[in-house]
Amino acid sequence: MSFQGYLKAIQDKTGKTAADFRALAEERGFAVNGQLAVKAGDITKWLKEEFDLGHGHAMAIYALLKGLKDENSK
């Protein structure tokens, strides 16, 4: 599955966009000024518990928040 496919599946399931997840991460203190302040495990735990995402989809959001990927990544 492409990164775009992951983001679409996540949005379909949660109703949240990439921008929404960035804002939520900031609100929860997981990111400060757009930079992650926690480890991948903290992000994936949050996403699995709150949004019922699987590990791969949670890691896609982690990659987005970490800046490894963006909305235009394939």
73 in a structural domain: no
| Structural domain count of the chain | 1
pLDDT value of residue 54: 97
- Mean pLDDT, the chain, integer: 95
- From 21, 28, 27, select the one nearest 66 (Cα to Cα): 21
30 in a structural domain: yes
74 in a structural domain: no
What per-residue string of b and e applies to 15-34 under the rule 16 or more CB within 10 Å gives b? eeebeebbebbeeeebbeee
- 17: domain range? 3-66
Q: Where residue 74 falls among pLDDT bands split at 50, 70, 90?
A: confident
Whether pTM > 0.75 for this model: the answer is yes
Tokens of 36: 């992650």
Percentage, residues of the chain above pLDDT 90: 88
72 in a structural domain: no
Q: Where residue 34 falls among pLDDT bands split at 50, 70, 90?
A: confident
